[in-house]
């Protein structure tokens, strides 16, 4: 009995160890193999149930889109709420809940007739008063809303038409209404009225999915909204026809990247976001999976404390900009050239706004010039403080590379590592730091680049009246080409003054089971028009 028992145990342990080590090699050998995809039983069940399980890297703090800039919130809330206008695949503002967009000749009145008989998830029909209440709340809570609609009056022309009146014409209003992060979500008037400082009590929108259930740290469950009325145009970007092709949509927060990867490999999740780049080759070879590089998604930035300490001197900032070799920094951050691109544009190449003015200041890789600028600035070898974080691995690697390159250029560096909430708290104190790293999402209009506008008081506190004036001129210019010319000047000035150094566009990596069809990345994840076949 004893012998039998000990033998069994030893064999079990050995099999498990051998299995584990062989699992890696089997994974490797399946690259390019003609093996038939074999779905996990759970995956088959998912298909039968017509549900989609999406593993997100973080849990959203709330689904109240007006309240937060957190990316996880938009990833879920976009499915519940809709905007008056949105962006097509050319990043052009097009109607969504509005039937059309009518701008008066003087540019001071924007009239937005609503599409008829649009239903909220509570059965109520959308009216102009819902839109007015929503926009007024959004304007209060969102910095982009405040900036675009600060002097505007939003009113109901009639029950099905919304009017925005402006003292001066502004080109910033429509892109702000379409801005998806902390976006101008339309909610029922009574939900807005019942919302306290803690946020809305119910998540009721007009989107293709309606809120069903939120089990904290487990899942957020959305279900298909049967009375959804899509726009007839074909899908394009965030615009066009939206259709809930699955009955149930689950967003599951899975902070551990290895668990997300294993989960999508095993079929526990149908879709996984933010896959670590070093898993790319392995997952690409998995016959059950599809991997997609999502771009444009974000750009990484080095933010200077331009208000106090050493980098309030523009020559010091220029010295750092001259010293950096961005290719090696982005390569260290991503580990693979497929996941980044170097580009001086403050908006992405894919956007109509794209300009490359100031490009000669980008990626100079010139430590000698940096030393010269440091001498001109009177730098005496005082140590600078860089705030770094391990919460985002790519930002940590970026910090290490930048530290190394700055030290080679003759700048002494103290690298302080914190978790992200601590870093965000520390960066509020202008006496505590010189440089920190972060990343920026896609802006729908260059004037939304919040760190350029001194009135936003964003940490870094860059302030230049010339820049503020140029941004205001852009906002007051309705002709796109004329506005783009002004943006060229903005970007030129940005690269001269470098309040932030754009390090490079960093893409994302997602993986999903092969049976998930119709996924199209645009600005962020969305799962309307996605089916489980």
Question: Smaller CB distance to other proteins: residue 235 or 459?
Answer: 459
What distance in Å separates the CA atoms of residue 211 and residue 79, rounded to the nearest whole number?
9
Q: Which stretch binds other proteins (CB under 8 A): 108-116, 153-161, 374-382, 449-457?
A: 449-457
Q: Which stretch binds other proteins (CB under 8 A): 91-99, 320-328, 451-459, 470-478?
A: 451-459
25 binds other proteins (CB under 8 A): no
Q: Are 439 and 303 in contact, with CB atoms under 8 Å apart?
A: no
Site for other proteins in 78-107 (CB under 8 A): none
- For 286, counting Cβ atoms within 10 Å of its Cβ (0-12 exposed, 13-18 middle, 19+ buried), the class is buried
54 binds other proteins (CB under 8 A): no
- For 337, counting Cβ atoms within 10 Å of its Cβ (0-12 exposed, 13-18 middle, 19+ buried), the class is exposed
19 binds other proteins (CB under 8 A): yes
Place of tokens 């020559």: 315
- For 38, counting Cβ atoms within 10 Å of its Cβ (0-12 exposed, 13-18 middle, 19+ buried), the class is exposed
Closest by CA to 358, choosing from 259, 501, 202, 493, is: 493
50 binds other proteins (CB under 8 A): no
Provide the minimum distance between the beta carbon of 143 and other proteins in the complex, in angstroms, as a whole number: 5
Cα atoms in the 13 Å half-sphere on the side-chain side of 324: 29
Provide the minimum distance between the beta carbon of 283 and other proteins in the complex, in angstroms, as a whole number: 11
x/- contact string, 193-232, with other proteins (CB under 8 A)? ----xxx---------------xxxx--------------
x/- contact string, 155-184, with other proteins (CB under 8 A)? --------------------------xx--
Beta bridge partners of 291: 511
456 binds other proteins (CB under 8 A): yes
What distance in Å separates the CA atoms of residue 257 and residue 421, rounded to the nearest whole number?
20
Site for other proteins in 399-438 (CB under 8 A): 418-426, 428, 438
What distance in Å separates the CA atoms of residue 478 and residue 490, rounded to the nearest whole number?
17
Provide the minimum distance between the beta carbon of 275 and other proteins in the complex, in angstroms, as a whole number: 14
* Total of residues contacting other proteins (CB under 8 A): 69
Query: Per the structure block, which two tokens stand in for 44?
Result: 């088959």
Q: Which stretch binds other proteins (CB under 8 A): 55-63, 224-232, 325-333, 367-375?
A: 55-63
Closest by CA to 85, choosing from 113, 45, 57, 65, is: 113
Provide the minimum distance between the beta carbon of 269 and other proteins in the complex, in angstroms, as a whole number: 8
What distance in Å separates the CA atoms of residue 330 and residue 402, rounded to the nearest whole number?
10
Our CA angle for 176, 178, 182, nearest 5°, is 75
308 binds other proteins (CB under 8 A): no
Beta bridge partners of 114: 98
The one-character DSSP state at 106 is T
Using CB under 8 A, pick the residue from 50, 441, 489, 531 that binds other proteins.
441
450 binds other proteins (CB under 8 A): yes
Binding site for other proteins (CB under 8 A): 2, 5-6, 9-10, 13, 16-17, 19-20, 23-24, 26-27, 38, 40-42, 59, 61-62, 67-71, 73, 141, 143, 181-182, 197-199, 215-218, 252, 254-256, 258-259, 262-263, 265-268, 391, 418-426, 428, 438, 440-441, 450, 456-459
């Amino acid at each position: 009995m004893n012998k039998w028992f000990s033998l069994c145990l030893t064999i079990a342990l050995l099999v498990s160890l051998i299995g584990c080590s062989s699992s890696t090699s089997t994974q490797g050998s399946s690259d390019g193999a003609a093996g038939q995809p074999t779905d996990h039983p759970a995956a088959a069940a998912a298909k039968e149930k017509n549900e989609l399980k999406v593993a997100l890297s973080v849990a959203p703090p709330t689904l109240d889109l007006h309240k937060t800039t957190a990316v996880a919130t938009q990833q879920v809330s976009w499915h519940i709420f809709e905007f008056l206008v949105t962006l097509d695949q050319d990043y052009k503002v097009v109607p969504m809940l509005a039937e059309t967009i009518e701008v008066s000749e003087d540019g001071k009145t924007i009239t937005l007739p609503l599409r008829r008989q649009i239903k909220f998830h509570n059965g109520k029909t959308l009216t102009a008063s819902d839109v007015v209440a929503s926009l007024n709340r959004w304007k209060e809570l969102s910095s982009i809303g405040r900036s675009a609609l600060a002097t505007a009056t939003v009113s109901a022309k009639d029950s099905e038409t919304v009017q925005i009146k402006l003292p001066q014409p502004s080109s910033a209003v429509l892109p702000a209404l379409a801005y998806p992060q902390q976006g101008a979500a339309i909610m029922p008037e009574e939900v807005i009225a019942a919302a306290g400082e803690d946020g809305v009590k119910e998540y009721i929108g007009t989107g293709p999915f309606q809120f069903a259930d939120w089990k904290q740290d487990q899942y957020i469950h959305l279900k298909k909204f049967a009375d959804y009325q899509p726009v007839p145009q074909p899908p394009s970007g965030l615009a066009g026809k939206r259709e809930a092709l699955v009955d149930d949509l689950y967003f599951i927060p899975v902070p551990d990247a290895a668990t997300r990867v294993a989960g999508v490999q095993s079929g526990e999740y149908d879709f996984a976001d933010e896959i670590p780049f070093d898993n790319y080759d392995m997952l690409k070879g998995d016959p059950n999976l599809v991997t997609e590089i999502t771009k444009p998604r974000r750009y990484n930035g080095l933010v200077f404390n331009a208000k106090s300490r050493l980098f309030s001197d523009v020559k010091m900032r220029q010295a750092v900009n001259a010293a950096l070799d961005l290719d090696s920094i982005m390569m260290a951050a991503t580990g693979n050239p497929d996941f980044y691109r170097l580009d001086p544009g403050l908006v992405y190449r894919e956007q109509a706004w794209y300009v490359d003015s100031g490009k000669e200041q980008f990626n100079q890789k010139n430590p000698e010039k940096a030393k010269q600028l440091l001498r001109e600035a009177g730098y005496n070898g005082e140590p600078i403080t860089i705030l770094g974080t391990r919460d985002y691995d790519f930002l940590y690697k970026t910090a290490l590379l930048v530290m190394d390159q700055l030290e080679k250029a003759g700048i002494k560096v103290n690298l302080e590592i914190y978790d992200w909430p601590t870093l965000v708290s520390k960066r509020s104190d202008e006496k505590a730091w010189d440089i920190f790293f972060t990343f920026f999402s896609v802006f729908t209009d260059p004037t939304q680049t919040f760190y350029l506008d001194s009135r936003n008081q964003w940490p870094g506190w860059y302030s230049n009246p010339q820049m503020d004036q140029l941004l205001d001129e852009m906002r007051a210019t309705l002709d796109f080409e004329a506005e783009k010319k002004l943006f060229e000047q903005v970007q030129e000035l940005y690269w001269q003054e470098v309040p932030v150094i754009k390090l490079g566009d960093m893409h994302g990596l997602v993986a999903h089971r092969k049976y998930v069809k119709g996924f199209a990345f645009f600005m962020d994840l969305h799962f309307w028009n996605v089916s489980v076949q």
